[in-house]
Structure 1
Amino acid sequence: MPKQNIHPKWYPESKVYCDGKHIMTIGSTKPELHVDIWSGNHPFFTGSQRIIDTEGRVERFMRKYNLKNTTNTK
Structure 2
Amino acid sequence: MQDALHPEYNEVTIELADGTEMTTRSTMETDTYETEIDSTNHPFYTGRRQFVDTAGRVEKFNRRYGLTDDDEESEETEEDTDE
- The two structures have a TM-score, normalised by structure 1, of 0.46
Structure whose alpha-carbon radius of gyration is higher: 2
Query: Which one has a larger percent helix, Structure 1 or Structure 2?
Result: 2
Query: Which one has a larger percent strand, Structure 1 or Structure 2?
Result: 1
